Amino acid sequence: MITNVKVKHYKITGPSKSQRRIDFFRRWWIHLAPLPFLALIPAAKAAPGVVELFFSRGWYSFVAHTYGFLTSLIPISLTEIGILAFTGICIWLLFREIRYCWQIGSIQRFFQNVLFWSTRFICGIVALFMILCGFNYYRVPFAESYGLTVQDSSPEELYALCMELEQEANQLRDQLPENDLGIMELSKNSFRLAKEAKATFQALSDHPALPSYPISPKPVLNSWAMSLMEITGVFCPITFEANVNINAPDHGVPASMCHELAHTRGHMHEDEANFIAYLACRESPYPEFRYSGTMLALSHASNRLRNADGDLYQEWLAQLSEKVRMDFRYESVYWARFETPVGDVSTAVNHAYLQLNSQKDGVQSYGRMVDLLLADYRARHSGESQTGTL
């Protein structure tokens, strides 16, 4: 007996247009995330006052008070832990991907996946960076908010500044401990020093551009790696941490802590962070901090003087105390050990990063603090107000 059975044929269709849009967004939204923020950069450059009011002293201040407070509860560097964990995870994922692509016999698939996830990660970091602190690069210049007038200066004026800093350094150096080689040595461990740095920086909080945040600098336990990359400190906006290289010469560590704390206040330009670190150290009750800040300023100012007028530089150099000279010599010897391809790559990356963030002279921008030092010198010796307008 034969039975006729009618078979129904169903038309197989793909996902609808709306579903395809949703799938596309789910896959690519992180890649697209930075675009709205990058599109706002021209407007931010054109309106620094708006950035200052609504971002730097608004949203950013809120994040620093809350998120920065939470991460500061942990005394060790979350950035350091995160880098180690991230490196381990990347190595594990890389080997897993290699194994998978080997099994399916597609080397092309491996490179496609690596490219996709690498760009996904980079775009995500860029978007997060802009949300947390990126627009601070376009806020009102610190010189303006602090009430300083930056202008061209003569070699004689620069010489006068160097002489003032030299006298301060000579006097302070006699008060400080030193090791058997005659090199300045910190009297406290790095964690105690971090607490003093926080207290030192809080003394500037009367100025509206330098608010009081519950953020302390964090000594990096693997500081040798920072020295290898020729880095004295780094502000990580992802964790709101001021990470400091504690293996660097002791006379520079307190100023480095204050430099990174200046970044936590939203002052991202390196010359401004250097100058703010000098201001904080200058007002510190701790001689080690005052000496460190003076040495930071003296290093940059004397280099500018050497390039501007060799005779005045030699005249200044002749009056520098032997103890201060020893500290400068040790600093040169220390960093000479790390002039390696790793350090060169690190410097090149930092140079490119600074240029991408409106610091056209890259790593040379650190030295532009001398313009601020000279403006401050003129203001102090002419009796001008430094209260600022904002």
Tell me how far apart the 2 most distant CA atoms of the chain are, in Å.
120
Model pLDDT, residue 90: 86
Reduced to 3 states (helix: H, G, I; strand: E, B; else coil), residue 337 is coil
Mean pLDDT score, 92-113: 80
User: What tokens does 366 get?
Assistant: 């650190």
Whether 52 shows a pLDDT value over 50: the answer reads yes
The dihedrals phi and psi of 269, each to the nearest 5 degrees, come to -70, 135
Highest averaged pLDDT of the listed ranges 47-56, 80-89, 197-206: 47-56
- Residue partners of 336: CB distance under 8 A and separation at least 6: none
Look at residue 96 in the predicted model and tell me its pLDDT.
84
Confidence label for 365 from pLDDT (cuts 50, 70 and 90): very low
pLDDT tens track for 138-166: 999 999 999 888 888 888 999 999 999 99
Cα–Cα dist 287/29, whole Å:
52
The Cβ-side half-sphere exposure at 8, using a 13 Å CA radius, reads 3
- Predicted confidence at residue 167, as pLDDT, reads 94
Q: pLDDT above 90 covers what percent of the chain? A: 55
Q: Is residue 94 scored above 70 in pLDDT?
A: yes
Across residues 260-289, what is the average pLDDT?
A: 94
Per-residue pLDDT band for 20 (boundaries 50, 70, 90) equals: low
Burial zone of 244 (CB within 10 Å; 0-12 exposed, 13-18 middle, 19+ buried) = buried
Question: Distance between CA atoms of 108 and 171, rounded to whole angstroms?
Answer: 66
pLDDT exceeds 50 at position 284:
yes
Predicted local confidence at residue 109, as pLDDT: 78
| CA 387 – CA 210 distance, rounded (Å) | 12
* 3-state SS, residue 174: coil
Least confident of 116-120, 188-192, 254-258: 116-120
User: Taking all residues of the chain, what is their mean pLDDT, rounded to a whole number?
Assistant: 85
What's residue 349's pLDDT? 53
55-75: pLDDT as tens digits? 999 999 999 999 999 999 998
| Mean pLDDT (whole number) for 314-325 | 92
Task: Note the pTM of the prediction, 2 decimals.
Answer: 0.84
- Residue 56 · residue 269 · CB < 8 Å: no
**Which one has a higher pLDDT value, 126 or 357?**
126
Average pLDDT in the 197-207 region?
90
pLDDT at 104: 76
pLDDT of residue 190: 92
Res. 49: pLDDT tops 90? yes
User: Quick one: CA torsion of 274, 226, 199, 297, rounded to 10 degrees?
Assistant: -30
- Separation between Cα atoms, residue 259 and residue 172, nearest integer Å: 20
The model's pLDDT over 287-316, given as tens digits with 9 standing for 90+, comes to 999 999 999 999 999 989 988 888 998 999
- Please report the pLDDT score of residue 257 as a whole number: 96
Q: How far from each other are the two terminal CA atoms of the chain, in whole angstroms?
A: 98
Q: Which of 105-114, 308-317, 326-335 has the lowest mean pLDDT?
A: 105-114
Name the band, by pLDDT with cuts 50, 70 and 90, for residue 251. very high
